[in-house]
Structure formats: structure tokens, C-alpha cells
Amino acid sequence: MNLYDSLFYVNNPTSPYTLIQYVRNLENFKIEDAEAKLASFKALPEFSENTYIAELESDIATLKGLLPGMKAPEFALSDPKGNQISLSSVYTQNKITMIDFWAGWCSPCRQFNPTLVKIYKEMNKAGFGILGVSLDKDAELWNKAIADDKLEWAQVSELKHWDSEVAKKFHVRYIPQNIFVDQNGNIIKRQVSEEEILGFVKRYLDSLKGAEVKK
């Protein structure tokens, strides 16, 4: 969020522009702040039929279901060979699983893939898994990207681009984006930065070892 937007929100707390920005940048705000802002908009007669109110309300509800400790929404999609792979079939096989939203057309995703491959090879035997969820719409491009980037973990897609129902379930508005879940499918954290992924995974796995020692 830039300085102009920040100042605008402060000086114009209930303007239509502020409402739109809350919808578009909801993840930049604390849930409780967004709920308070939603309530202030709903109290104003001029916003009674504003479609962004319903959208903001729905998005807040979605994000509240994606907080740490919440169960990740289940889904099952086709892999490149047409086999159905469910989220639960992946996370139950690992101690920590990264749901990786990406696409073959996404340059930042492709640029990070070589590093992600290294992390996967280093940490997979320790209990780290990945499920790639592609927002591609071209199967050929998707398959070529998987092969070219040498992605060894499970890959699924609806091939619906931004119309992906799974992306909507997880409030994915940009890629790359990730969500980490534990062996029971409970959300650990959303959007760990690329430079922090390896350390985050190591710390989580170390915490499990510590818990086992205490037992």
C-alpha cells in the first residue's frame, strides 16, 4: 500500500474509493479492522445497495476461515494425466505441506521454481511436501512448464485461469502465493515470503522434533 492510499484512507474513511481499496487489498488489513470498516460502511444509507459491500463481507468471511489453526478447504483436481488428487491425500503424507499457487505464464513463479526445487529436494525426506495448484488455462503450456522447471511434486489444475474455484476458496488474488498446512490439514501460515520458505520449514520441523522429545 502506497503513502497516498494510506493518507487517503485516513482523510476519507468512508469514501467509495476507500471501500473499493478494502475489497482489492483486503489481505493488507487486519481482519478486525476490516470488520470495523465494513460496519461503518453498512451504517451509511448511501452504501445500502453498493455491491462492494456484499463482496467485502464475503471476502472477510473467506479470510476468517483461512486463519492459522483453521482447517484448509478440501478440494480434488486433475493432474496432467487426468488423475484426481485431493489436498488431503497430499498433506496426510507429509508433516508440513505447501500449497503453491502458480502458473506457467507467471514469470515470478517460474523464476522462483529452481529455488523451490532445491528446497523440496533438501527437505522432502524430512517431511516437507508441496501441492502445486496451477492457474493456467492452456494444458500444453502447463505441462511444458512442469517439465522445463523439473517440478517433481504433485500438480493439479482446473485450467480455468482466474476463474479457478479453488483459488476463490483460498482468496488467491495474485500469484505466486502459498499456504502451509500441517499433517491434519490445519493452516499454519499464509504467504511465507520466498526468501523465508526454507527457514520456515526447518523451524516448523524442528518444533515437531522438540515436541516429540518432550513426550
Residue 210: pLDDT over 90: no
Four-residue CA torsion sign, 129, 197, 205, 188: negative
Q: Is residue 69 part of a domain?
A: no
Give 108 or 45, the one with higher predicted confidence: 108
Q: Which residues of 56-65 are buried (b: 16+ CB within 10 A; e: fewer)?
A: bbebbeebee
Looking at 64, 84, 102, the residue that finishes a domain is: 64
Q: Is residue 71 part of a domain?
A: no
Q: State residue 4's pLDDT score.
A: 45
Indicate whether 118 and 151 sit together in one domain.
yes
Residue 23, pLDDT score: 82
Q: Are residues 26 and 47 in the same domain?
A: yes
Q: Provide the grid cell at 136.
A: 493456467
Are 56 and 87 in the same domain?
A: no
Same domain, 200 and 175: yes
Q: Which domain holds residue 48?
A: 3-64
**Structural domains counted in the chain:** 2
Same domain flag for 143 and 191: yes
Structure-model confidence comparison of residues 15 and 164, the more confident one: 164
Model confidence band, residue 25 (pLDDT cutoffs 50, 70, 90):
confident
Residue range 60-65: average pLDDT?
A: 92
pTM: 0.85
Q: What is the CATH number of the domain that holds 207?
A: 3.40.30.10
* Residues 60 and 89 occupy one common structural domain: no
Q: With beta carbons less than 8 A apart as the criterion, state whether 101 and 198 touch.
A: no
| Co-location of 159 and 200 in the same domain | yes
Which pLDDT score is estimated for 24? 80
Q: Is residue 178 part of a domain?
A: yes
Tell which of 13, 44, 64 closes a domain.
Answer: 64
